[in-house]
Structure 1
Amino acid sequence: MKIRILGAHMFESKDTRLSSILIDDILAIDAGGLTSSLTFSEQEQIKYILLTHGHYDHIRDIPAFALKNQDRTTDIYATESTLDILTTHFINGTVYPKFTEWPSSENPALKLNTIEPYKPVSVGEYTVLAVPVCHSIPAWGYQITDSKGKSIFFSGDTGPGLHSCWEHIAPQIMIMDMGFSNKSADIASKPGHLCPSLLGEELQDFHRVKGYFPRVIMTHLNPDVEDEVKEEAQQLAQQLGIEISLAYEDMTVEI
């Protein structure tokens, strides 16, 4: 399994892009930095897009992607609440076309598929499991497992309180929300985000449940505190004896 980090930050600039990752060139998770990260030929390879929740920085590039790739149907997977946000406020026939009916109802640009939590679903050659995470609106993390048994967990935006997730997943790699440094732990947790110290508590809980630590990649970074987070992440990695790294745009990882 090849994982490419398309967007690793919560703010966009010339050098930073919004949340999105790409698996094996064909399956994307979140679409904040989807089209802005890929050539047109790379976009054409995408067959499936999973959405963790309905905040703008995670769904932004869906319309641009659909407009350019309207000659085929791309499958969108999300929970009902996220799809409701997408169709009510975004691809609603006013802000953007209803891509589920456009360019035609027989051959739409997008097909929406509802995922239910804790129920594995086949998405191409992958098995996808959605688990609820802790955020300011309903949000879901995804475990993606390929045909060889390799798996990752992508948290999307989440705060502390992930104990109920751990019994359902067993990834080799966790890609986790990390928008704050430790000095802002209280601020981070209220809207549903993590800092290194909060993540450390969650990882220790995971270890108690599963008996091992996965490799961790921190994403959804705030550039203003990224240096602090990097230092705190190194301290956490040393404390737990595990590999922790910060994501960056176009970072690639293989498992």
Structure 2
Amino acid sequence: MIRVLGCHGSIAARCHTTSFLLDDDILIDAGSGVGELRLDELARIDHILLSHSHLDHILSVPLLADSVIKLRMGPGGLPDLRPIQVHGLPQTLEAIKAHILNGVIWPDFSRLPSAAHPILTLHPFNIGDVLTFPSHGGGADRVVRVLPARHTVPGVGFGVETPQGLWIYTGDTGPNPDLWKLLSGQRIAQLVIETAFGNEEAHLAEISGHLSPQSLAKELAQLDGQVSVFITHPKPGEVPAVLSQIRALDSQHRIEPLREGQRFGVPVSDR
């Protein structure tokens, strides 16, 4: 099960920035949507997969750490603390350490409550890696591929393997030919792809590493077959205009807006 916690490019009432919950223990990005989870749900999160270092995708990492320390301690106290594993590109993790967990913006929870038993541990990955997460309930492993993205900072997308095909999240990206080459011939269950700006701001989308409806059309034309496509990351005040331009596209794919609270009932890989 994949639950959409946030799918906007900024905040407003009932609009949260990007975050998805895979089953009940893996966050894919950690935007403001994480705040929709109850405290007991937050305490069950064991892994956070970060697409890149921009604030709208990482802002809940330090806050989550502060919220769940006591709840993740076992009966033995500090030595039994279950850390949350934060996974990202080396550059992403370095940026978080340098600019967020630096004792100035926020305490360094990669060394707290103690250096030997921190609540956050940092785990680098690279594009092309395949991450495997065992199921707590004895079911199938969760298998996540790290996919290429093209943004203004080093970034990635993710592909969650399911029996129906890949659930793809592009991350923040501009035109991304490497992704479509990689996905050629692959079975895709759903594609979650960003469109951050309207066509009137196509130049801004280009220089900021994002898509507009006209560049989205060119990206989707490189995708084989007919795919269920879900649009994420529009700014709250621009959603109607962006969606209107997307609906006007001539595309063979089924294109819908992503919504907070939406759930994808895709069982994980049984490989």
Fold shared by both chains (TM-score > 0.5): yes
Instruction: Quote the Cα distance in structure 2 between the aligned partners of 1:224 and 1:12.
Output: 10
C-alpha contact (below 8 Å) 2:199/2:212 kept by paired residues: yes
- The structure 2 residue matched to 1:195, chosen from 164, 187, 212, is 212
Q: Which of these residues, 221, 225, 236, is aligned with residue 238 of structure 2?
A: 225
**Matches of 2:33 and 2:61, distance apart in 1:** 8
CA distance in 2, matches of 1:227, 1:221: 9
Secondary structure, in 3 states, of the residue corresponding to 2:219?
A: helix
Whole-angstrom distance in 2 between the partners of 1:252 and 1:221: 19
Q: Which has the larger radius of gyration?
A: 2
Counting aligned pairs with the same residue, the percent is 28
* Runs of 4+ in structure 1 over 4 Å off: none
Give the partner amino acid of 1:8: C
One-letter identity of the residue aligned with 2:199: N
Give the alignment's Cα RMSD to 1 decimal. 1.7
TM score, norm. by length of structure 1 = 0.90
Give 1:98's aligned residue. 108
Secondary structure (helix, strand or coil) at the match of 2:86 reads: strand
- Tell me if 1:80 matches 2:73: no
- The answer to whether structure 1 residue 165 and structure 2 residue 182 are counterparts is no
**TM-superposition CA deviations, 1:104-153 (whole Å, max 9, x none):** 2332211111111112222332222222311111111111224x464211
**Equivalent in the alignment of 2:18:** 19
Q: Where do 5+ consecutive residues of structure 2 fail to align? A: 73-81, 135-140, 267-271
Deviations 1:26-48 (A, max 9, x none): 21111112432211111122221
Partner of 2:193: 176
Equivalent residue letter for 1:58: H
Q: Which moved more, 1:123-132 or 1:19-28?
A: 123-132
Query: How many pairs does the alignment contain?
Result: 246
- The yes-or-no answer on 1:46 pairing with 2:62 is no
Distance 2:220 2:16 in 1: 27
Which of 151, 155, 159 is matched with 1:135 structurally? 151
Say which SS state the counterpart of residue 145 (structure 2) adopts.
strand
- Secondary structure of 1:218 counterpart: strand
TM-score where L is the length of structure 2 = 0.85
1:156 corresponds in structure 2 to 171
